[in-house]
Structure 1
Amino acid sequence: MKKNIILKAFLFFYFIIFYNHVIGQNQLFKYDLEYKPSPLQNNTIVEKMVLDVENTKLSIFRTEHEKKSDSLTAKTGLGLGRKPTFESQFYIVKKLADNEVKKSIKTMYSEIFSVNINEKLNWEIFPEKSRIRTFEVQKATVNYGGRNWIAWFASEIPIQDGPYIFHGLPGLIIKISDNENNYIFSLTEIKASEGDITYRPKSSELTWEQFEKLSENYYSDPFATLKSMGIPIKVDDGNGNGVTPDLKILSDQMKKKIKENNNPIELNHKIDYR
């Protein structure tokens, strides 16, 4: 018991020293995102996410894969592959000084679109406290995207930010989940960010209605753009040979995947794919 108290105290003071060292720098917060891609199944996916914070004014939330891709794009003009479905993309750009939050979507054709998140976060803070790892955390709740969320924030980290679109609490959000545990964001690591923060370039802005229309058109014919451009499509046959696929079969496979993995964070903007 005594050893545990000493260990916790050591970790706490180590964190304070470390945090004071990096407070003036760009910071990187790593989160695990565990989510259910399908509302009809209990299987979950765990994504390694990164929250880059620049002087507490700009923050970028994305997967580690997307962070690497953005860095490569800045250096070479070519990035890594992206997810073919929209519902499983979690790329968020926050400019908190300007009260601006955008959800970024990248298509399989490297088109970049964004949706302004105008839904206000009306937090309710409770006196209830707990401990997550070395952090003393306090409870708060909010409704966003048609889901009820429970957050635990640490006032000892004076950054009013957190994973995904969530921000505005008097301390960093250490953990947040919806009340049905479809989405669970958990802080795993804090470190100083290395170099400049690079992120996606300016995108075409859409309303939610336009985004939903884009999603429906994509679902109806995922390869419509390639067809209209007359670009030949080749896939690997498993032996390193490029072969022309049956686009109907590929489209049906894509539509099946989109339909089965239709559990977006913004439940109030869920599309009824048929």
Structure 2
Amino acid sequence: MYFNRLILIIIVFLSFYASAQNKVFLYEMKYKPNRSKDSIITDKTVLDITTEGLSVFRTLHDKVSDSLKAKTGLGLGRKNRFENQFYIVKKLNVNEIQKIVQNIYSDVYFIKNDEKLIWKIYSEKSKLEKFDIQKAEVNYGGRKWIAWFAPDIPINDGPYVFYGLPGLIVKIEDEERNFSFNLIEVQNSSGTVNYRNKGIMISWTDFQKIALDYYADPFAPAKSLGIPIRVDDGQGNAIKPNMRNLIMKVQKDIRENNNPIELDKIILYK
């Protein structure tokens, strides 16, 4: 069923490939927030590729939020964890890749990604109706990844940080199946690609400190500004929470959902 649906996508894509328009690739992402549990989160992600060589990968939620922020100045709500953020900006014409994270206070951080992707391309192929897809492997972020790319789609890009194969990556997952990305739809777009292009450049070491500081007290910035913290009592009323219990609840959530896609940069929360 998946391959039959995808072949229709490819046929449609090839019919308008020659047009000078931005391309939008939708991928279904599945990931395990906790490696020791079987629970899986499914989300829609989007890869925008512009005619100028800009590539932006993010969740559909983040794309909608970026568009709203460009129009109104306000986006959608942010997640309270760093480990499940999947936002990558590639400028392949200048060999620049950045991971972008945002905290609940809308602070945006850019982390330059210098890890080289050294692909091993296999002769093993499979069929998408009349189209060939070919197998490749790469090590990234402390994980081994298995990819399938379509040489008939001459775009050397793919979801998240993955790029550099002689064809669009239509499917990729890590060997332990903690993360997977599957192409499900292709669109043309003539609109502006709004994305996070302003923030603070940091290193992975800086990121670890920011994440640990947030874990120690997620509400420290709000308290320092004198912003009152309220929670819903379950009946629609805003009440002042027990801060110790609230902090412990957030900390537990962070510890129990600590399966970053860059496993070699995992932060050990205690």
* TM-score above 0.5, yes or no: yes
Aligned length: 266
Change (3 A) 1:232 1:40: same
Worse overlay, 217-226 or 70-79: 217-226
**1:186-225 → structure 2 map (5 Å cutoff):** 186-225=182-221
Task: State the AA in 2 paired with 1:18.
Answer: S
* Alignment match of 1:121 (pick from 117, 124, 138): 117
Taking a change above 3 Å as real, the CA distance of residues 132 and 17 of structure 1, as seen in their structure-2 partners, is: closer
Q: Does 1:103 align with 2:87?
A: no
Alignment counterpart, residue 16 of structure 2, candidates 15, 19, 25: 19
Range moving further from structure 2, 236-245 or 255-264? 236-245
- The structure-2 alpha-carbon separation of the partners of 1:186 and 1:13, relative to structure 1 and needing over 3 Å to count, comes to closer
Question: In structure 2, how many angstroms separate the alpha carbons of the residues matched to 1:79 and 1:142?
Answer: 35
Cα pair distance change 1:51/1:95, threshold 3 Å: same
Q: Percent identity?
A: 51
Post-superposition offset of 1:246: 1.4
Q: Is the 8 A contact 1:56 1:159 kept in 2?
A: no
Q: TM-score, normalised by structure 1?
A: 0.92
The Cα offsets for residues 70-116 of structure 1, whole Å up to 9 and x where unpaired, read as: 00000000000011100000011111111111000010000000111
Change (3 A) 1:15 1:252: same
State which drifts further: 52-61 or 120-129. 52-61
Q: Which amino acid aligns with 1:104?
A: I
Aligned partner of 2:53 in structure 1 is 57
Which residue in the other structure is 1:3 paired with? none
Q: CA shift at 1:12, angstroms?
A: 8.1
Larger mean CA deviation between 190-199 and 44-53 belongs to 190-199
CA distance in 1, matches of 2:237, 2:27: 39
Matching residue within 248, 253, 263 for 1:267? 263
- Could you tell me how far 1:220 is from its partner in structure 2? 1.1
1:183 aligns with: 179
Q: 1:258 aligns with which of 237, 254, 260?
A: 254
Give the partner amino acid of 1:125: I
Letter in 1 for 2:266: K
State the Cα distance separating 1:201 from its structure 2 match: 2.9
Say whether residues 1:42 and 2:49 are aligned partners: no
**Map of 1:4 onto structure 2:** none
Within 5 Å, which residues of 2 pair with 1:167-182? Answer: 167-182=163-178
TM-score by length of 2: 0.94
SS in 1 for 2:17: helix
Question: Does the Cα contact within 8 Å between 1:12 and 1:134 map onto a contact in 2?
Answer: no
What letter matches 1:98 in structure 2?
Answer: V
